[in-house]
Amino acid sequence: MGPAMAAWIASRLTGIPFSFAGRAGDIYPPDGALKEKIRDSLFVTSENMTNVPYLNSFLPQAASKIYGIYNGIASGSFKDAPVAMKPPYQLLALGRFDRIKAFEVLLHACGILKESGLDFHLTLAGDGPRRLQLKYWTYRLGLKPHISYPGFVPHDRVSELFCSADIFVMSSAIHKSGDRDGLPTVIMEALMHRLPVVSTNVCGIPEVIINNETGLLVRQKDPPALADAIRKVISDRSAALEMAEKGRELVLKKFDPVANHGRIFDLFLEKAGGLHNP
User: pLDDT tens digits for the chain (278 residues)?
Assistant: 678 888 999 999 999 999 999 887 678 888 788 999 999 999 999 999 999 999 999 999 999 999 999 999 988 779 999 999 999 999 999 999 999 999 999 999 999 999 999 999 999 999 999 999 999 999 999 999 999 999 999 988 999 999 999 999 999 999 998 889 999 999 999 999 999 999 999 999 999 999 999 999 999 999 999 999 999 999 999 999 999 999 999 999 999 999 999 999 999 888 866 544 54
79 and 95 Cβ atoms separated by less than 8 Å? no
Read off φ and ψ for residue 117, nearest 5 degrees.
90, 10
Q: Are residues 195 and 209 in the same domain?
A: yes
CB atoms near residue 217 (< 10 Å): 21
Q: Are residues 31 and 110 in the same domain?
A: no
Q: Are residues 119 and 242 in the same domain?
A: yes
Amino acid letter for position 173: A
Q: Are residues 136 and 228 in the same domain?
A: yes
E strand or H helix at 226 = helix 223-235
Q: Are residues 152 and 59 in the same domain?
A: no
Look up the domain containing 17 and give its range: 3-72+256-271
Q: Are residues 150 and 187 in the same domain?
A: yes
How much is the pTM? 0.92
- DSSP annotation of 150: E
Domain-located, residue 79? no
191 and 244 Cβ atoms separated by less than 8 Å? yes
Q: Are residues 203 and 248 in the same domain?
A: yes
